[in-house]
Every structure is written in C-alpha cells, then in structure tokens.
Amino acid sequence: MRGKRILPFLPYIVVSAVHCVLVIFQWPGGGFETKQLLMPALALAAIWSLRRDRVGTAPAPETRRAPRTAMTLILVAIAASWFGDGAGLFFPGLPTLPMMILFFAIAHLGYIVLFWRAPGMFPVTRIPWWSLVYALWWVIAISIIGPHAGELFVPLAIYGVVLGLTAALSPRISGTVAIGGFFFLVSDTFLAFREFMEMPEWVSNVAVMPSYTLGQGMIVFGLVAALKRGSAHSSDVQPG
C-alpha cells in the first residue's frame, strides 16, 4: 500500500535526487536546467495521487468542495515556489532575491491557510506546545542575519514570520507534514545565511537543496494523504 502511495511521487524523487547530486558536486545542469523541473514534478505527483484515488468513485457534492479547495491551495503553493525557484529566469529585469522572497512568501501563505483551515483533511490536531520553538528560531535568526540584510531587513523579517508559521502549524496535519515544514525552514535558514553572510559554498550546496526538496515533498505527500483520509472518513459517516 505504501508503495502505491509513493508511486506518483517517483518522478519528483528522481528529479530531486538528480538535481541535488548536480548541485552538491557542482556538475553542469545543476542550475535552472533541473531546478525548474522540481515543482512541476511535485504538482504532477499531487494531481496524480488524488486522481487515481478517485477513479470510479462518486463522492457526494458536499464532500467535493473541501478537496477541491485544498488542491487549489496546494497547487498555488507549488506554483509560487516554482516562480521563486526561477525568479532570476522568469524576471531577469528585477532583483532576484526580493522576487524569491515574494513568491516563497506566497507559497508559505498557501500552506499556512491549508494547515490552519485543513479543508477536507483528517485527522487534524491542535498545535503542539513545542511549536513555540519556531518563535525562538525567528528571534535568533533575525538577530544574527538581520544586521547583514540592509534594506531587505523588513521583508526578511516578515518572510521569517510566515516561514515560522508554516513550520509551527504543520504538525496539525500529520507527522509527515511536520517533518516537511521543519526541513523547509532548515533550507531557507541556510539560504539566508548563504545570501547575507559568509558561508562555505560546500555547506550551502549540501544543506539548501536536499532539505528544500525533502521539505516540499513531505509537505505535499502528507497533505495528499490527509485528504485521502478525509475523503474516506466523510464517506464512512454519510447516512446510508
């Protein structure tokens, strides 16, 4: 059963592995060539997962709205991440880093709404107390990186808030999503150190993209699984 759930994510896993190897070893093709394939492969995985699960089923109209809303938000977050990944490619006349911050902030806002509202997902739990550690992370990160951010200090601080909220709210859905939120935060933390402070290039290569691809993949995998559980739960509790 687990193998069937992973099957739609195999293209994303393969593209992620290839891209990370190219980046870590600084081989040709580790730039836009493979990076821009990541989010389309992840979007394909999300759509494939839900479509194959619903073939031959006819859920009641009231059970269709929530998965449709959740799927829209998932795809918005993935699309915004795709534009963030390729900010320098898509917007060559604009400063790359601010555009990255903008689009990844949009992606995180999509995830925040998903985690908070949890449309069509099951089960949904309370925010655990240990999520407060992400507030501490924000204070420490801003105090260290902020003095080096210059005119980007305010956008960076705001982005840190939405990034921390993504990680803090992610445990509401599942442990898988919580791990994904954590690794997304780890990736962007190392990215901030790379952009604003001195960091050995090999550390950046090893830390940023592997944690980013793992984080995004686990978030979407966990969200799709929660939607499937929600659909099954709705079917079980319907009269008749």
Q: How much is the pLDDT for 236?
A: 56
pLDDT of residue 198: 84
pLDDT at site 2 = 63
- Over range 115-136, report the average pLDDT: 95
Quick one: DSSP state of residue 238? S
- Identify whether the C-beta of residue 150 lies closer than 8 Å to the C-beta of residue 178: no
Mean pLDDT confidence for 45-72: 70
Predicted confidence band at 1 (pLDDT cuts at 50, 70, 90)? low
Q: What pLDDT shows up at residue 114?
A: 96
Task: Kindly indicate the confidence band of residue 52, based on its pLDDT and cuts at 50, 70 and 90.
Answer: low
- Which sequence spans correspond to the domains of the chain? 2-237
Is the bond leading into 171 cis (omega within 30 degrees of zero)?
Answer: no
Q: What is the pLDDT of residue 111?
A: 98
Tell me how far the alpha carbon of residue 213 is from its chain's centroid: 8
- 73, 121 Cβ separation under 8 angstroms: no
